[in-house]
Chain A
């Protein structure tokens, strides 16, 4: 049977399994209802005897599980004056029964604004409106639709709908809410896919298994970011539970998004309403069993992002990772340019005989440059003396020296950093403190919990090449902690000086973190996009990190006076009093993770030659001496003293330097170019897939029987054919492993034309967004808790058309939008219809549409003339008020500053941070990224009015709108008002509106002047009119006509 099964049948005559579903609390109401209403609607089908995993034939009779029928439009249903259109035929059938008829077409002006809002989420310009109104060709409307479907704005509008479904966010949420590397690539992929009219089946397959396709592309791998853009707790209470929570998120969002099924309930027990036994949930989960978890253990309680699980290099067709190739090439150029610069500076520095400091250091450098055994006595003496004089020994808690594997007092083994690093081994890591503390080093094993020191050292050669110094775990926190003394608490102070060479990358890589006692890991020193960054509770301080250059960095933490970061001899200081959240006595040097060779490691991907850690702040003089010593030791005088070298340059050298610096700047820009890099993606955990067990009551610690990946029982329950997917040579070169092929099998099943749900669900989604309500009003729930289709035959017709048209969504847009139903007026006043069908279920008129939060913001930008239509990239950070930032435990943490122009990009490019949401978007129902949102609610609350009237963004834009009007029609209020109406509403004001507007401008202007005069402030008429016009523009943005589209 095709028609939906009766709701009253639900609780009657079920099989044993189904009966158990009745005994749940949620059902009580339903049983009651059934008892009350059952008799009204006659007998119910008897239970089917043939059960498959507890699924009866009655269960399988549910309407959405039936094959999609090739329904024929009921062409008999003709309404006079309405051209034949298959969609209208279906709708008219229902309208006629209800005694209703469709409304007349909307006016051309209304239509163009509607189509713009709907397809691209922006208002049409007055010129476009005029042109459309004047276009008398019979296919004017079709041309308009086609033009907009071809616009890149289309993908930005419809891609955003998709992002709602897949809980897209760019951070993890929870305490640290760290950024997900390159999450934006997934967003851009979605936008691109809509713009390319990627067929929906391909779109589905790419997201589920883009890495397992024979024709995998960079885009198809980026598509699997689908798995990674949800929230993720890096400090879960129970790691085993967290593992299944992560899979649960994937299972739910997959079933919701592609199948319109709410499967999550079956995690703990049989689904209470739909025929989804618990076993089905775990069978579906089995398809994802080999998905590598997002994090890897970094301590007994914490996870860190696992790059080998979530990042895949983007590889070019010739097999090279584009980022690697590009970066290598650019870095070569950089290094060539820098070599040249170094030569010039070195020459200049060397000429500075009159600079005794440099001269002395240069002599020292020469001494270091000679192998120790060949040094003269003087040279030896010089090295020993300099070492003794330059390195303060008091309060030195840790000293690591790559050049000195034996750890004896002579640090002079021909230490050029490059050669030293290549020989680096565990033997180099020694505790060389002279403070007697038990500062120790260990290797963090990737799998285990907190390893003991002995284990770590023993396994060092076999483990990941990431060395891990965990001061907190090893007790170093004690020496570095300032202990409270009765009544007075000494401020925590320390200094870290290091010789490092960091890989500048777009991923944040921490060099060390401090305050690790309760996981304040977001404080410390790191490197990202060519910048060293110190986060110490206040604003981030940063300094350029010369790419691939050895440099000397020194950080002093001197609470409450401030934090200093010096890269070479350039010092930046965070201002005093801006470290509000650091509490003095608890300051610990918690983690000191130094990962220096792990490919793709989250931490410093670079090299480290020497580190000194002091439990006090070194004075400037001491720092300078130490820096000089290290610069001489490692031959870094030219770069460290570039500033001084600069002063000694002659004219010709200056010219060369300028040229080299310019080209370096360009190269830096290229390196920072975000198109290089890796995809946030799915990866699998090796070749052997672990068995999947049904978990009793969903308890991660109670496995029961083993299950195999199997499709849903209600849809046949077939066991798929699964082929392992070999990884391409291109990717295996970068450590990517082959995959189980399970996800590919699932994806193929999803888009099998015989799957009754996938096409129906997508066709309904398109309808939902076009009309404001789906044929099935619950677009992600086609089960029994959802709402049945108002027009089931139409839904099947559209679903069949989607498949027949090769899954092209643009084709379906065209089909829907060319219907009379879509084009009819939303303003029809039909008392009869309003009484019979006040909710407009049968579509006797089009619905009025409120702009989404994004569309309101975007429309404001378009109307003010400020819209920046740059596409793609990491995203932008609109300025948030201090009050909003103050809701964070570390104010401003993770929220950057974007230029004004960047802030004027479309809302889809606003960075999505889970714990800090942009008020204007949040207030207008942009959903939380933590939960999929198939149908946004539309609420109306007074904070929306406050934001639109008093918010900084709105006032800024109102000002820009006013300036635009002022410069187009200087001094002509009438013309300004007319233009304003045309820009904001796509129409001319009528006489009454013009009068109101002019009165408004005059009155507000007068009042403003009066107010200024009362304050004895000088005013000019022009100022008053600027004020009034801005006020008027702000008011227009607030009108219902601005946020509602007919």
Chain B
């Protein structure tokens, strides 16, 4: 009888000794869980924890990309991140620094790499700045078109990050950490909110024709989260998605026949194996794959866009002479595709401007003016068009547009009038999606070197992005290696409330 009693005891213990995650999962998923779930969910605790249990150690198959409720009603439903890879300069674009201009050529002692100070010459901007719109936000003449929509922009001028190097900087901007192995922002959004449209990937990345960013796919990796949350690399040319198109020369009917036969045989297999929800899930994943073959090309097909729209996005602008320039066509096309993807329910689109190394990207060591001459015209019309287009379609208010790089640049000269990396004070702007339009927040010092007024770490930017998307960065956690991981890391982070409308 011992054997009957003792396990009974441990049985009851089992429930209370299971980890809180597993316990909550059981409660939430099981019979008696509803009331408790409701109580706990008031602070979103259940949602995040049960969620982790579901995806990492599911006993029953749960679609990792199933749509999930936000923690609260977010102002933005979707997000497009225009990543200026290489690190764009603030003082030549949207941050006018009269003091910098005044002191052009003076020699100062400045931190060039962490704790490494050097005597350098101040490099004033060659750009002309004006105030625009009702808001009177500054914009340089590098962006004659973007300057026309400054009233939509919310400029944050006082961000700082933790690293002077591209490798770790890219990773931090995308994952919150300077070390590899953590999930990227898009993964967090997918994990927190799921997919709306299963016929398209929820997290799409588009790259510059000159190459990928440093560290490549690490930047859109899902880290320790399942691969389902990683970004999908979408291509402009050829196959839009890896292995989307059959290699064999086959007709639509032949392919359908293959899918149907697969489904038929899988159904037979399933009938003999009750209680395994992963089997039907896999069967439906083939249907989704099949759908994707038509939905992805459709989303990328610009033939239904009118001529004016294509022109507005800069698709027909002539390519400038500079050898490294690719003109505004690729980025414009990507922005337009981005808008189409967002319309179709894609949650997060990230477009890289700049690829490869140095002047191929915004990495302007070898000449600030040359760098701007290459890259500014490539993005100027497309970004203007994207904002205008989103607005006229009524999408801007619930679409968050984010623009910036892995860090900014130094106010001093390097090589022949170039600028070195600077993570101590740099600029991002956002638009739409619940941010204050025509608003400027924070300042760097008068030269533009370090964040001075309202300095905010990029953790705060990440927290703000999540907030705008309806997610509390404290509650959006993923349990791994003994810790509830957050995009905003273990260090304190706060939403930049001032920029939220």
Contacts and interface: CB of A to CB of B under 8 A. Distances in A.
Contact of A1040 (B2, B283, B480): B283
B57 A268 contact: no
11 contacts: A36-B39, A175-B215, A517-B365, A581-B357, A778-B57, A785-B20, A883-B235, A889-B213, A916-B216, A930-B180, A1007-B257
Q: Which 4 A-B pairs have the closest CB atoms?
A: A262-B482, A930-B181, A839-B59, A175-B167
Given A36-B39, A265-B483, A1008-B254, 7 more contacts: A7-B16, A581-B210, A787-B22, A848-B273, A889-B211, A891-B211, A944-B285
Contacts of A1038: 262, 286
Interface stretch (A306-314, A582-590, A857-865): A582-590
B64 A939 contact: yes
Interface in A790-816: 790, 792
Interface in A248-271: 252, 256, 261-265, 268, 271
A585 B244 contact: no
A580 interface: yes
Interface string A872-898: 000000000101101111110000000
A928 interface: yes
B416 interface: yes
Nearest to A9: B16
Contact of A886 (B207, B322, B483): B207
B357 A917 contact: no
A1024 B212 CA distance: 41
A1041 B270 CA distance: 9
Interface string B23-37: 110000000000010
Given A788-B17, A940-B61, A1044 B323 contact: no
B251 interface: yes
B214 A889 contact: yes
Contacts of B286: 942, 945, 1038
Interface stretch (B122-130, B157-165, B430-438): B157-165
B166 A518 contact: yes
A677 interface: no
B19 A7 contact: yes
Contacts of A848: 273, 276, 278-279
Nearest to B61: A940
Interface string A1025-1046: 0010011001100111101101
A691 B217 CA distance: 39
B292 A946 contact: yes
Contacts of B214: 175, 889
Interface stretch (B90-98, B111-119, B333-341, B342-350): B111-119
A268 B490 contact: yes
A262 B481 CA distance: 6
Nearest to B249: A1011
Interface string B353-366: 00111111001011
Interface in A570-625: 580-581, 583-586
Interface in A995-1025: 996, 1000, 1003-1004, 1007-1008, 1011
Nearest to B244: A946
Nearest to A955: B247
B305 interface: no
A586 B244 contact: no
Interface in B1-49: 2-4, 6-11, 13-14, 16-24, 36, 39-40, 43, 45, 49
Contacts of B365: 517-518, 586
Contacts of A8: 16
A236 B268 CA distance: 55
Interface in B255-274: 257-258, 261-262, 264-266, 268-270, 272-274
A1035 B262 contact: yes
B19 A235 contact: no
B99 interface: no
Contacts of B324: 583-584
Interface stretch (A90-98, A380-388, A968-976): A90-98
Main secondary structure of the interface of A (DSSP, over half): loop
Contacts of B162: 237
B218 A173 contact: yes
Interface string A755-783: 00000000000000000010001101101
A32 B10 contact: no
Interface of B: 2-4, 6-11, 13-14, 16-24, 36, 39-40, 43, 45, 49, 55-61, 63-65, 113-116, 162-168, 171, 178-182, 198, 201, 207, 210-218, 221-224, 226-228, 230, 232-233, 235, 238-239, 241-251, 253-254, 257-258, 261-262, 264-266, 268-270, 272-276, 278-279, 281-283, 285-286, 288-289, 292, 321-324, 355-360, 363, 365-367, 370, 415-416, 423, 474, 477, 479-484, 490
A886 B223 contact: no
A944 B65 CA distance: 14
Nearest to B1: A76
Contacts of A16: none
Given A937-B226, A1040-B266, A951 B243 contact: yes
A181 to B, nearest CB: 20
Contacts of B22: 777, 787
Contacts of A76: 2-3
A1027 to B, nearest CB: 8
Interface stretch (A121-129, A481-489, A720-728): A481-489
B254 A1007 contact: yes
Nearest to B261: A1000
A394 interface: no
Given A74-B3, A586-B358, A264 B481 contact: yes
B168 A233 contact: yes
Nearest to A262: B482
Contacts of B14: 788, 790
A1004 B223 CA distance: 41
Given A585-B366, A923-B227, A928-B221, A881 B242 contact: yes
Interface in A917-943: 917, 919, 922-925, 927-928, 930-933, 935, 937-943
Interface string A78-99: 0000000000000001101110
A23 interface: no
Contacts of A1039: 262, 265-266, 269
Contacts of B171: 174
Given A887-B207, A942-B285, A484 B168 contact: no
A584 B198 CA distance: 44
Contact of B479 (A41, A265, A785, A1008): A785
A295 interface: no
B56 A583 contact: no
Contacts of A98: 11
B17 A939 contact: no
A581 B357 CA distance: 7
A890 B356 contact: yes
A781 B482 CA distance: 7
B168 A236 contact: yes
Nearest to B22: A787
A924 B230 CA distance: 12
A201 interface: no
A586 B288 contact: no
A883 B274 contact: no
Contacts of A477: 415
A952 B248 CA distance: 10
A883 B238 contact: yes
Contact of B483 (A94, A233, A264, A834): A264
Given A29-B49, A262-B483, A888 B226 contact: no
B416 A941 contact: no
Nearest to A925: B227
A914 interface: yes
Contacts of B182: 931
A786 B52 CA distance: 13
B19 A950 contact: no
A198 interface: no
B212 A889 contact: yes
A256 B481 contact: yes
